[in-house]
Structure 1
Amino acid sequence: MLPTPSLHARLVVLLLFNAAATLLLHAGLFHWPLPQLLRWLEWSVVLPAPWTWKAWGLTLLLILPLAGWTAAWLLSPLRRLLRTLEGLALSYRDGDYNTGIAASTGGGSEIEALARAHAALGAALREQRSGLAQRELLLDTVVQNTPVALLLVALEPQGQPGTVVYANLAARQLLAEGRSLVRQGLAELLEQAPAALRQALLQTADGLVSIDGETPGSEERFHLSQRPLVLQGQPHRLILLRRMTRELSRQEVEAWKRVIRVISHELNNSLAPISSLAHSGGELSRRGEIGRLEGVFKSIGARAQHLHQFLSGYASVAKLPAPRPEEVGWAAFIDELRSHCLLQLEGELPAGSAWFDPAQLEQALINLLKNAHEAGGPAESVTLSVSAVGLRWQLTVSDRGPGMSETVLAQALLPFYSTKRSGTGLGLALAREIAEAHGGSIALANREGGGLQVSLWLPRGDYRS
């Protein structure tokens, strides 16, 4: 089967055909056979000279219909293809991807290539639409059946929450006993909601919300998360309410279990020697060896002092007071910190002062520096740096110890978690409590080349403002 000529080849053939037809027509009109035929018929028709512009004008005038017909014949497949493409574009605009185009149009290799490319595009669009429909169905099923209550609310021009655009089953059950929430105003919808939930949803801050449970005296706790987003050019707010009651209760029970285990272990470690020493003291007293009783009493006192310090550490976490921030100069604060622990200052201190509770922050840094010295690295590798990063202060304690595994990093900030034989697991937890009470945070990360880096972040300025 011969290959289909290209459009360029067809145009060349058309031009050559029209040129040859023009020359043949011109020769037939002014050379042979028309002049001879007119003389034979004895018609008194005077023809212009063959090479004058009148002769060529008459030839071109007579050749135009033939040229027009051949051009229309050549371009007809292209016109059909363009009409088909226009119809397909309108179908695609309306979301109909089921129509296609024949790959063979008989209009030349370029036109057939265009038709095949467009057919492949239609097939790809149909496949993508089918995939998107399946993914949309899967996503809607997941969102509808997730236990997290999800609300998408359109915002008014003033930024106030307007009508509900989307709500999953959990949101409908929480706020409307399963009824639809779409196109209802959020403010009107929350009129019947608990006061704590209504106040939290009308604000933009994340946090925990506690409301009364279904049974008297019970309490349901939710984690509220709100994020702004732009959907189809309009501002919206995505609201997520995750029920945390069971998880918090489970974590609370686990925390109490850890506390009981640690305290029980430490009490046994202290009470057993005290009991043994008391028995030994009684035997020495019965035998009259009074001189040896002083050593027994000293050992009992040392164990009791250790037990007192251990319990005081737990009490410091449970009874941590609210911070009393004040303006503190960095140079004076670091000088005071040097009097309590050994440290190497890395870099220059920021000029000026900061706003925090100096006693609490000093306690947090002492714990961090103590952990760094106990990590096993060289003492001179323990450093402290203070820098301003954006709107926050960053205080970083670094060491060159062995660092932490991923498992330990994930749990190191939990209270009572410790990998040390004699550790209480309160140093990092207390530092975290102090940082968060100041409106900041704490982060742990392993260093390149070995060691651990603990960064304590504090807001610049009065965190209560």
Structure 2
Amino acid sequence: MRWRQRLPLPLVLSAVALAHVALGASLALLLQRWLPNWAAIACATLLCAPSLVWCLMWAIAPAHALFRALTGTVASYRDGDYGFSLAWHGRGALGELVAAHNELGETLRAQRLSLVQRELLLDTMVQNTPVAMLLIGPTGHVVHANLAARRTFGKGRRLEGHMFSALLNEAPTALVDAFARGGDGLFTTGDGEAEEIHHLSRRHFRLNGRRHELLLLRRMTTELRRQEVQTWKKVIRVISHELNNSLAPIASLAHSGGELLRRGQLERLPDALRTIEERARHLEGFIRGYAHFAKLPAPRRTRVHWRDFLDQLRSHVAFVDAAPVDPSQTGSFDPAQIEQALLNLLRNAHEASGDPAAVTIALRRGVDDWRIEVLDRGSGMSEAVLENALLPFYSTKRNGTGLGLALAREIAEAHGGRIALLNREDGGLCVTLVLPD
């Protein structure tokens, strides 16, 4: 069998055909002694045909067995079984076919092993993450839930196949309310020492052409409390610094005023009292600014004509209109809060530029929002300052409170908008306040 495999199949078939042609010709010549030519040829053909058929079947038997084996391995590949390979000792086209088939099997086995390892790694990560993950199908049934989700919604039992609405009925009220609000957000469960803060994230996507929803529920108590402690420490440092800067001079000047009064040097007393008043008013403004930032109410949105609003704003602080505003154009916002935010931005622009004519406001209409750009020709901001400028209590000014930009950001986000800072190419800063219409 093996020597037939080693010889190329066309060579074996050619040899069989030539041998039978020679045999047929010899028989025809022998039979011509007794039969006519046509009869001798016919008889020789009939006599050689069975032998030719048998030899051909014998010659292609290894190839036929190989084809059956190839059919079996292809069927195994289709069923996901890649543990087969073929043995063929011949050369030529069949040898190349078997070698290519075995290489394909090795590649599929390696890919399957890599895929299994990745799936195992991914499943291990998903199952052991502290974030509760649920995949909800288009019918509202739970398609997949990790261990954290089972502990949160099912007390450890499997959730696949259950209606999510039924699981939600057994969940805490705060969680139900968070789902009812829609979108992402924070919510709190429990009270007192048992209070827990969670973050809910919801994402929709299509899987196999059908809409699914991925729910992520993360416990944020530890992180937020740690951040809260850091924030309080920073607030205390800032307030302590500001109080010391004001109270120390006040105490010193009060002592000096008492000495002047005791000595009868009354002509210098008004200057000391004036300085005490200035420091006290500065401290009062500082405390008021912090209180205003902490007690910012929810915006009361109303339709406001932009032309009238900008004219009212210009009565408080000077600026130049970079883009004329149509008097009929209106926006939906809280005019008092947006005016406060823009006043802070314009005052910063005046301090940076020094020239009122270089301070500009450009109002631009977006697809579904308004963009208010406050531009100046100051020195701009470094990368480090740009990264931290919107954080509360961050300031590069010697007597700054770090609340102007933070308050503007708080107001913008309360309106569902945002604020962005960008250095201008020719020098200066562009602060963009984006408000939804």
Q: Distance in 1 between matches of 2:153 and 2:280?
A: 56
Partner residue, 1:321: 297
Describe the superposition over 1:377-432 as per-residue Cα deviations: whole angstroms up to 9, x where unpaired.
997775544333433333334556343325x4444322212233222111121111
What residue in structure 1 maps to residue 392 of structure 2?
Answer: 415
The one-letter amino acid of 2:298's match is A
Aligned-pair distance for 1:75?
A: 6.1
* Residues in 1 aligned to 2:185 and 2:282: alpha-carbon distance in whole angstroms: 39
Give the distance between the partners of 1:118 and 1:277, measured in 2 at CA.
96
The answer to whether residue 248 in structure 2 is matched with residue 260 in structure 1 is no
> 1:255–1:119: structure 2 CA closer, same or farther, 3 Å change rule?
same
Unaligned 5+ runs, structure 2? none
Indicate conservation of the 8 Å contact 2:389/2:405, yes or no: yes
Matched residue of 2:392: which SS? Answer: coil
Contact 1:377–1:399 (CA<8 Å) still a contact in 2? no
Shift of 1:225: 0.4
| TM-score of the aligned structures, taking structure 2 as reference length | 0.83
Q: What amino acid sits opposite 1:116 in the alignment?
A: A
Verify the 8 A CA contact 1:328 1:356 in the aligned structure 2.
Answer: yes
> How many Å apart are 1:78 and its aligned residue?
5.5
Residue in 2 aligned with 1:230? Answer: 206
Choose from 298, 308, 329 the match for 2:284.
Answer: 308
One-letter amino acid matched to 1:95 = G
The yes-or-no answer on 1:187 pairing with 2:171 is no
Q: 1:113–1:38: structure 2 CA closer, same or farther, 3 Å change rule?
A: closer
**CA deviation vs aligned residue, 1:336-372 (integer Å, no higher than 9, x gap):** 3344445455556577222112221122123233334
With normalisation by structure 1, the TM-score equals 0.78
Counterpart in 2 of 1:429? 406
Output one character per residue of 1:36-81: Cα deviation in whole Å (capped at 9) or x when no partner.
Answer: x534x3x4x3639x9xxxx9x9999999878877876776666544
3-state secondary structure, aligned to 2:416:
coil
* Structure 1 range deviating more: 223-232 or 395-404: 395-404
Q: What is the Cα deviation at residue 175 of structure 1?
A: 2.4
Map of 1:154 onto structure 2: 137
Answering whether residue 183 of structure 2 is matched by residue 205 of structure 1, we say yes
CA contact (8 A) 2:320 2:359 kept: yes
**Residue in structure 2 matched with residue 463 of structure 1 by the alignment:** none
The one-letter code matched in structure 2 to 1:151 is L
1:322 Cα offset (Å): 2.1
Distance in 2, matches of 1:378 and 1:80, equals 94
What's 2:416 paired with? Answer: 439
Q: Distance in 1 between matches of 2:52 and 2:308?
A: 98
Give the 3 Å change call, closer, same or farther, for CA 288–142 of structure 1 in structure 2. Answer: same
Distance in 1, Cα, partners of 2:261 & 2:106: 100
Residue 312 of structure 2 aligns with an amino acid whose one-letter code is: E
1: CA distance between counterparts of 2:132 and 2:317? 49
Secondary structure class of the residue paired with 1:165: strand
Structure 2 CA distance for aligned equivalents of residues 62 and 386 of structure 1: 104
Give the distance between the partners of 2:177 and 2:74, measured in 1 at CA: 50
Q: Does structure 2 retain, via aligned residues, the 8 Å contact 1:446–1:453?
A: yes
Where does 1:4-403 land on structure 2 (aligned, <5 Å)? Answer: 33=29, 38-39=32-33, 41=34, 43=35, 45=36, 47=38, 79-102=64-87, 104=88, 106=90, 108=92, 110-156=93-139, 161-162=140-141, 164-201=142-179, 204-213=182-191, 218-346=194-322, 349=325, 352-375=329-352, 383-398=360-375, 401-403=379-381
**Equivalent AA in structure 2 for residue 125 of structure 1:** L
1:241: how far off?
A: 0.8
> Among the aligned pairs, what percent are the same residue?
52
Aligned residues: 431
Q: CA deviation at 1:243?
A: 0.9
CA contact (8 A) 1:167 1:181 kept: yes
Letter in 2 for 1:422: N
CA distance in 2, matches of 1:6, 1:204: 74
Q: Which amino acid aligns with 1:415?
A: P
Q: Once the 2 structures are TM-superposed, how far is the Cα of residue 222 of structure 1 from its aligned partner? A: 0.6
Out of 382, 388, 406, the position equivalent to 1:404 is 382
- SS of equivalent residue, structure 2 residue 162: coil
Cα 1:457/1:63, change in 2 over 3 Å: farther
Check the 8 A contact 1:441/1:458 in 2, yes or no: yes
Whole-Å Cα distance in 2 between the matches of residues 390 and 418 of structure 1? 34
Counterpart residue type for residue 220 of structure 2: M
Distance in 1 (alpha carbons) for counterparts of 2:143 and 2:388: 39
Q: Provide the C-alpha distance between the structure 2 equivalents of 1:395 and 1:129, rounded to a whole number of angstroms.
A: 55
Q: Equivalent residue of 1:210, what SS?
A: strand
Q: Report if the CA contact (8 A) 1:368-1:427 is conserved.
A: yes
Alpha carbons 2:6, 2:89 under 8 Å: kept? no
Give the 3-state SS of the residue equivalent to 2:365 in structure 1: strand
Q: Could you give the per-residue CA deviations for residues 242-269 of structure 1, whole angstroms, max 9, x where no partner exists?
A: 1112222222222222221111111111
Higher helix share: 2
Matches of 1:381 and 1:65, distance apart in 2: 108
3-state SS of the aligned residue for 1:224?
Answer: strand
Q: Structure 1 439/89 Cα, relative in aligned 2: closer, same or farther at 3 Å?
A: same
Indicate how the Cα distance of structure 1 residues 14 and 425 shifts in structure 2: closer, same or farther if over 3 A, else same: same
Q: 2:342, 2:56 → 1: CA distance?
A: 89
SS in 1 for 2:96: helix
Unpaired runs of 5+ residues, structure 1, are 461-465
Label 1:169 to 1:46 Cα distance change in 2 as closer, same or farther (>3 A). closer
| Distance of 2:43 and 2:323 partners within structure 1 | 96
